[in-house]
Structures are given as structure tokens and as C-alpha cells.
Structure 1
Amino acid sequence: MTPITEVEGRRLALSNLDKVLHPASGTTKGELLHYYATVGPAFLPHLRDRPVSFLRYPDGPEGQLFFTKNPPPGTPAWVTTAPVPRSEDPRARQVVVQDLPSLMWAANLVVEFHTPQWRTDSPAVADRLVLDLDPGPPATVVECCLVARWLRERLADDGLEAFAKTSGAKGLHLLVPLEPTPSEEVSAYAKRLAVEAEADHPGLIVHRMAKALRGGKVFVDHSQNAAAKTTATPYTLRARPLPAVSAPVTWEEVEGCDDPRRLVLLMDDIAPRLERYGDLLAPLFDPDRAGALP
């Protein structure tokens, strides 16, 4: 029998609570749902007013994974959806996770949460810039941290403030709060920055995606600033054998990273970090911290 629970007045059917979803740790779906309920107050501001794309992994990371932007079949009427610009379907809508019941409904589908750099009331106008630092083996997140430090200083030269989070996989993400700026302009600036980084550190950094170029280097992926692209939302779990989280980190942690294991943050690490630091990415919502592109 599927348990029925009530979340802020909404009735939810939560299924398969004993199912193991992260096999390396034995993490069950019930534990996953508890995680999202616990971190909801920090997670929801990063989801609110942004269309969500879901990477579903209902049978764990070794099962079928599928990416969807459309509201899944059976989406409750009380879950917010919003029109989004898509060339292939001008009537397209996507889920917008505005509250805890919607978050728990989505989490019950077993998904990664991915969001764009813009909000539903201003499509293709970004309020943040993202750089995805992806290491090519044998490089690791340690090399990503070196690149992040250089990028942080370079962004500061342009009056922009960077914040870091783990990708939840192998790399690191940098997020920069912006005054509302057309996504095309943000994309062009991010690409210039990646090209400049490679020119300054050709033995460490590459700005092109071709895997043949990336061995032992850090790929500075600037492409996620395009209006059609999304990035793993802060605090989302990733479809990995361990319940790894795309989690905010301090610059002290970035500067002191000499072992890749130090920046592997798992589900059980997040609540204590929130108690200690609060949301390290809260400045993204402060208009006084938003910068203008040069």
C-alpha cells in the first residue's frame, strides 16, 4: 500500500520508500525524501520562479536515466507550471517548484533538479552567470579549485563576485549574481573569459568541449549561460552511486583543497553545513551583490 502523507495541506502518495537508489551507500528513497524535506528551506529559493528540467533516475544511477522538460504525466493541478520559450513548441510549459509540497512531489519521482540562469517572468534575461569547471582525467577537482581561484580574481577585476559549489560529480561550479542581462550577452562574456583563462594557463585550462583536448586539463564550460541550457540546481542530489550533492562550499575550502575527497559532499553532510554556514549562496539573491557585465 502506498503511504499517503500531508505536506502543508497537500496530500501526497509517496511510493517505494525502501527502494535503494544510491547503491554504494544503501541510501533508500525514504532517506532521499527526508533529505529534501530537511533542506527544503535552503533549496526552494534556488528553484523558485525558475522552470525546472528533470533528470529522472527512478531505478538508481545504474538504471534508465531520462531527461525531461515537459511536466510529467500525472502532475497535480496544484503544481505550478509556466510557459517557456521553445522554438519546437511555442505552447511549451515547464514545472516551477514554488513550495515544499511541489518539491516533495518532484522528489518522489526521483530526479535531479536542473534550472536555467533566468526566471519565468524574464525568459532569456539572466540574473546570474555560471561557469562549469569539468576536469579531464587525470585532473580532478583539485585542479578545478586552482582554476576557480584564478577565475574568481579575474571576475573581481570586472567588479563581479563569484561563489562556488561542487557539481555533485567530478567538478566545480562558479555562480555570479548579475543585474538582469540578456542571456546572449552573458554567454558572450563567459566565452571570452574562458578563452582568456586558457590563453593565460594553456597547460591547465581548455575552453573547447572536445574530449581529445581535455586530458589532464580543466574544461571551463561557458555554454550553460545560453538561454536554452540548464545547470544542476544548488542542493540537488545527483544520480551517482553515492548520494552526492551539488553543494555550496566556502572559498577557504576551495583554496585548501589538496585532495579530491575533501570536496565530495554527501546527503548527510548538508544539514550540518547549513547549521554551521547557512546558505553560502544566499548572496545570489541580494540585489546589492549583483554586478554589471563590463
Structure 2
Amino acid sequence: MAKTAAAHVTAGDREVRVSSPDRVVYEATDRTPALTKLQVCEHFVTVGEAMIRAVGDRPTAMERWPDGWREGMRLATGPQDRNADGFYQKRLPKGAPDYVETVQVRFPSGRTADELCPTEPADLVWAAQMGAITFHPWPVRRLDVDRPDELRLDLDPQPGTTFADARRVAAVARDLLDELGLRGFAKTSGNRGIHIYVRIRPEHSFEEVRHAAIGFGRELERRDDGVTTAWWKEERGSRIFLDFNQNNRDRTIASAWSLRARPGAPVSTPMTWERLAEVDDPRDFNLTTVADYLSDGDPWAEMDDQAYDLAPLLELWETLPGGELNFPPDYPKMPGEPPRVQPSKKVAEHWDADGNRIAD
């Protein structure tokens, strides 16, 4: 069978070549027809301007599925996982067009990488041509990659909870932000969760922004017993977990307008608060529907109008009880961090007062 000729799409002032344009990236579902690589690239043309407002000038990892995504496919868990179908590309691959820019970031391990730094829609379309369907930007911009300029509140439904639970908690979170003099911008995660972003002044470390998220989460727990900040899954119960560790260095969330590796090509979709309150099923916002949705205007168009002081959230961190919480397991042990052992497996006499394991 003859190979399908490459197609070309126009993104801004550039023409981007798309090889294998009829390759199926998403199989048909009861909501969407089969969707091709060309349609994925055209999606990023359509959302390109709005998406650059959200991810522009940010170090961005690409979640690539070179052969498309199918139910049962697996995303690599690390560089040694060579049998996975998809993977995170943290270093810009060789052969990128000259117009695609990078920015260097430093990981908790001390290693560095030159990551994609989108500046125009063509960058996103080129990445989609390379199999990227989801973009994972850092909460920093290239001028200062060590000082976050956005707080990310990740409302993650745990087993036994639903999108409706996340939507209810998001409304409580909005009220709390309003009380603190902060404006939050919400989006669907592309699955069952909801993400809330707050633009902040780039004056704090990753650790301080993480503490702000913990303080906010603890006040949210006080107001709604369906919320938890418990790091260990066995302690979360059927509640919405506010994942404070998403504010760590090298922790990223699927960007606004990204596709997700799930049936029906769902899109992580920005919402006004009023629109979010009306959503029953986030799968309604997918590759086939977001173009019409966005034609009514970008719900995040005003996000950069004001950057807020973190002081009210850091005050919650300082005043509410609970202290430090666990970091992810790939992080070095951090000052004040509790023991990294499941509570159900912890034997008190094996640990000293500082949370260090006592040798046998």
C-alpha cells in the first residue's frame, strides 16, 4: 500500500508539515469518530492562540504517543521503561525546526535539561506532529525558572468520588479564594478532576508555593469534610485529595487545551465558574467540540491581568496545625518531613523524634 503523502497545516505565520496525516490517534467511541494525526494537529492550530497564553514561555514536557493512543496502552514510568507505548519527552529531540525554542531547567536530582519553551502555535503543532497529545508546562516562565508565577490547586477525586464531588469542592475553593482576595481560574483535567490556577508574583520558592497549597488545603478541609490533604492513599478515604505536591519543582499538570490519553480525546478545558457549575460530564469537551466552545471566547483571557501576593495562603500554612507533609518518593528527604513509610506499616519504636529510622 502506498504511503500517504504528508499534509501541511498553517499555524500563525508558519506552515507545519504533518507526516502520516491519516494515522489514527484515537479510535472511535460512542462520542467521537476515529480521529487522525492531522485532526490532532488541527486541534492545536484551533486552540493555539489561547494555549500560548497559558503555556507560553514556560518549560514544557511533551507526553508523546508516536503510534497513537489505544485503550490498554501504557505510559512509561521512567527512562528504563522501554516497553511502554507513550513517554514524557523532557529534552527537546534533535531535528526540531530552528524556530522552536528551549529553556534550561534543573531537576531535584541536580540534573538539567533543555525543554521545549513554546512561544507560538506552530511549536505546539510541530510537537503534535511528533506524537505529542498532552503538554506539561512548569509553573514558571523562562525569565526566572526558580520562582513560580502560578499556584496550582489539583482537586483529585479518590475512589468512591465523582466529578460532581470535585465540582462541589471547587465551588468551596472559589469562595475561599474570594475571601482571601485571590482570583482563581478553573479547568477540567480531561478526566474526573478539576484544576484551579492562581497567578502569583514570582517571589517565592517552589517549597513556599507548596506550603501555600498545603495551607489552602487545610482550610478547605475545615470547611468541607469531603476534602483531604492526606499524602498516604490509605488515609484519604472517599474524598477529594488536594494534591499539594503538584507545586514541587519538576511536577507538572496537563496544560489547558491539551488532549488527554483517554477514550474520546477529552480536552483539559478552561471554564468560567458559571460554566463549570453546569458541567455534568467533562467528556463532553473533546477534540470534536472544543472548537465551537472556544469560539465564544477564552475563559482564561484575563488570567494575566493581575498577579497576587501569596501572603494570605502562607499565613494559613503558618497558623493551621499539621506541620510538614511528605514529599514524593523521588525527592531527597526534606527538612521537617514525616517518615516516608505507610502509617499502617509504621512501628513507633523504630523511628526517632525527627522522623529518622533507627537502625536495628
TM-score computed with the length of structure 2 as normaliser = 0.74
The 3-state SS of whatever aligns with 1:170 is: coil
Q: Is the radius of gyration larger for structure 1 or structure 2?
A: 2
Matching residue of 1:265: 285
- Select which of 122, 130, 133 maps to 1:101: 122
**Distance (whole Å) between structure 2 residues aligned to residue 3 and residue 120 of structure 1:** 33
Structure 2 contact 183–198 (Cα < 8 Å) conserved: yes
How far the C-alpha of 1:262 sits from its partner, in A, is 5.4
Bigger shift: 185-194 or 210-219? 210-219
> Is residue 46 from structure 1 mapped to residue 58 from structure 2 by the alignment?
no
**Distance (whole Å) between structure 2 residues aligned to residue 190 and residue 253 of structure 1:** 25
The 3-state SS of whatever aligns with 2:149 is: strand
> Is residue 185 from structure 1 mapped to residue 204 from structure 2 by the alignment?
no
Change (3 A) 1:219 1:100: same
- Select which of 20, 41, 46 maps to 1:16: 20
AA in 1 matched with 2:93: P
- Select which of 211, 224, 234 maps to 2:246: 224
Q: Which runs of 5+ in 1 are unaligned?
A: none
Aligned pairs for 1:1-294 (under 5 A) are 1=3, 2-3=5-6, 5=8, 7=10, 10=14, 12-23=16-27, 24=29, 25=32, 26-62=34-70, 63=73, 64-88=85-109, 90-111=111-132, 112-182=134-204, 183-202=206-225, 204-257=226-279, 259=280, 261=281, 264-276=284-296, 278-286=297-305, 289-293=306-310, 294=312
How far the C-alpha of 1:73 sits from its partner, in A, is 3.3
Q: RMSD between aligned alpha carbons?
A: 2.1
Higher relative contact order (CA 8 A, sep 6+): 1
How far the C-alpha of 1:40 sits from its partner, in A, is 1.1
Q: Which has the higher strand share?
A: 1
**Distance (whole Å) between structure 1 residues aligned to residue 110 and residue 9 of structure 2:** 35
AA in 1 matched with 2:294: L
Bigger shift: 97-106 or 142-151? 97-106
**Distance (whole Å) between structure 2 residues aligned to residue 264 and residue 214 of structure 1:** 29
Structure 1 contact 179–292 (Cα < 8 Å) conserved: yes
The 3-state SS of whatever aligns with 1:117 is: coil
**Distance (whole Å) between structure 2 residues aligned to residue 11 and residue 201 of structure 1:** 50
Q: Which has the higher helix share?
A: 1
TM-score computed with the length of structure 1 as normaliser = 0.90
**Distance (whole Å) between structure 2 residues aligned to residue 228 and residue 180 of structure 1:** 16
Bigger shift: 72-81 or 234-243? 72-81
Change (3 A) 1:249 1:263: farther
The 3-state SS of whatever aligns with 2:58 is: coil
Structure 1 contact 4–11 (Cα < 8 Å) conserved: no
Q: Deviations over 1:158-206 (max 9, x none)?
A: 211111100011111011121223132211111111122223323x111
